[in-house]
Amino acid sequence: MHILDLGMLQVDEILRGANASALSNKNPENKRRDLIVLSALIEYPGVGLILFETGCAENIDVEWGAPLTDIFPRTEYSECQKLPAAIEATGNHISDIGSRELAPLVNSFRVLG
């Protein structure tokens, strides 16, 4: 199994009670967190390569658009983090994949911090 790094997004901390205002601090600066976008490439006997999660759209600004890209801006996305290149780095090719599974969006991210 290979874990593929498909870039990073950023988001408001979104924790219950976090970033809440108080009488003494009506407009606190909101904390933000980095979200790593991950995918898993699994070689399964008798099935071949399975891709679990495909990551975000390559042209995220067009495919997602505002307000999503304002809430979840992509902060890291290099050539090696594009899905075809990440798969190639494992010694495989995107055309070798026999099956793919899409996880709910929340399962695509690991919150750092």
Band of pLDDT at residue 107, cut at 50, 70 and 90: very low
Domain with residue 71: its CATH number is 3.60.15.10
Kindly report the pTM of this predicted structure. Answer: 0.77
How many structural domains are present in the chain?
A: 1
Residue 107: strand, helix, or coil: helix
DSSP state of 22: B
Lowest-confidence pick of 5-19, 43-57, 72-86, 99-113: 99-113
- Supply the range of the domain harboring residue 10: 2-111
Closest by CA to 55, choosing from 5, 2, 1, 111, is: 5
For residues 12 and 28, what is the distance between their CA atoms, to the nearest angstrom?
13
- Residue bearing tokens 């924790």: 15
pLDDT digits (tens, 9 = 90+) for 41-63: 999 999 899 999 989 999 999 99
pLDDT digits (tens, 9 = 90+) for 1-29: 999 999 999 998 877 777 778 889 888 88
For residues 61 and 41, what is the distance between their CA atoms, to the nearest angstrom?
26
